[in-house]
Amino acid sequence: MTAAPSPDEGLTAERLAARYGLAVSGARPSLAEYVRQLWGRRHFILAFSQAKLTAQYSQAKLGQLWQVATPLLNAGVYYFIFGVILHASRGMSQDVYIPFLVTGVFVFTFTQSSVMSGVRAISGNLGLVRALHFPRASLPISFSLQQLQQLLFSMIVMFVVAIGFGSYPGPSWLLIVPVLVLQFLFNTGLALIVARMGAKTPDLAQLMPFILRTWMYASGVMFSISKMMEGRSELAVRLLQVNPAAVYMDLMRFALIDGYGASNLPPHVWAIALFWAVVVFAGGFVYFWKAEERYGRG
């Protein structure tokens, strides 16, 4: 007696998968579903960032104090070289220049560290990526959140320096919050971009410090762009001022330092800050998501 033919007989693998609701393992979800998955992992993202922050200096005797000491020591070195030897403080009193420099170093370090941790987010955590199923964007986002928490610790020193040189808390200090939010979005987008690039090309992590150092010197960390570029092309000055690192540093300086007025900011500075944050975050997120199924393979 001949058995009845199976209802699945003659169907292709794709049609069989569709009939029974099967999907390719590790396939990239839709963008909306990916965002939903990330939101579902929000507790993991926060816990992972806090664990990495705690472990960062666990082998050092001073422990978490290095979160503040490292950028402060950098600021001291830059002050000696640029403030004392090269007189890069032109047009600014010491009461303005020292908090100007400290603020610039701390704020740029926030972006610098986010990029450096982002470029290794996938390539440096392949064991985790290959062992567990989760949206891979969790890693660069978590590392950016780690750097934000580190900056919040460091801001205690920024406040002390600002107050010590005569800039006392006022309404302008409320601007610190939107500046941090916009810079965090920008940094996260940038971390997502370099995370995808670093996953494919691990050697990018060796090149990135040179790129970031060049960016730092072009962003006015140690000097005022408008004063240093006096007599130069107006277009060149504006191009340097709308560089995102310079925008977020100058907005933070404007918020914190009494002697750093609006004349030091480019026109429409808040619109520029919002543009960089939204475009880089949205673009970086989509760019990273498009390679979701390829992370950890090969």
pLDDT of residue 179: 97
- 99 domain residue, yes or no: yes
Provide the pLDDT for residue 145. Answer: 95
| Whether 167 contacts 130, CB under 8 Å | no
**Whether pLDDT at 20 is above 80:** no
Could you read off the pLDDT of 48-79 as tens digits, one per residue? 998 888 777 666 566 667 777 777 787 888 88
The residue count of the chain comes to: 298
Give the separation between CA 57 and CA 69, rounded to whole angstroms: 12
Q: Are 62 and 96 in contact (CB under 8 A)?
A: no
Q: Is 189 exposed, middle or buried (0-12, 13-18, 19+ CB in 10 A)?
A: buried
pTM: 0.87
HEC letters along the chain:
CCCCCCCCCCCCHHHHHHHCCCCCCCCCCCHHHHHHHHHHCHHHHHHHHHHHHHHHCCCCCCHHHHHHHHHHHHHHHHHHHHHHHCCCCCCCCHHHHHHHHHHHHHHHHHHHHHHHHHHCCCHHHHHHHHHCCCCCCHHHHHHHHHHHHHHHHHHHHHHHHHHHCCCCCCHHHHHHHHHHHHHHHHHHHHHHHHHHHHHHCCCHHHHHHHHHHHHHHCCCCCCCHHHHCCCCCHHHHHHHHCCHHHHHHHHHHHHHCCCCCHHHCCCCHHHHHHHHHHHHHHHHHHHHHCCHHHCCCC
Q: Is residue 156 part of a domain?
A: yes
Interval 77-92: pLDDT, tens: 888 887 778 777 777 8
Confidence of residue 229 (pLDDT cuts 50, 70, 90): confident
Q: Look at residue 165 and tell me if it is in a domain.
A: yes
When pLDDT is averaged across residues 234-262 and rounded to a whole number, the result is 92
> What are the pLDDT digits (tens) for 177-222?
999 999 999 999 999 999 999 998 988 999 999 999 999 999 989 8
- Give domain status of residue 17, yes or no: no
Residue 92 lies in a domain: yes
CA 269 to chain centroid, in Å, comes to 19
Q: Residue 276 domain-assigned?
A: yes
Mean pLDDT on 138-149: 94
| Residue 24 placed within a domain | no
Cα 172 to Cα 123: distance, rounded to the nearest angstrom: 41
| 12-21, 94-103, 249-258: range with highest mean pLDDT | 249-258
User: What's the CA gap between 233 and 236, in Å, rounded?
Assistant: 5
Of 246, 253, 233, 237, nearest to 272 by C-alpha is 246
State the residue range of the domain holding 264.
30-294
- Dist CA 97 CA 99 (whole Å): 6
Within a domain: 15: no
Do residues 143 and 118 touch, judged by C-beta distance below 8 A?
yes
Handedness of CA 133, 138, 143, 148 (dihedral sign): negative
* Number of compact structural domains in the chain: 1
* Closest CA relative to residue 71, chosen from 26, 108, 16: 108
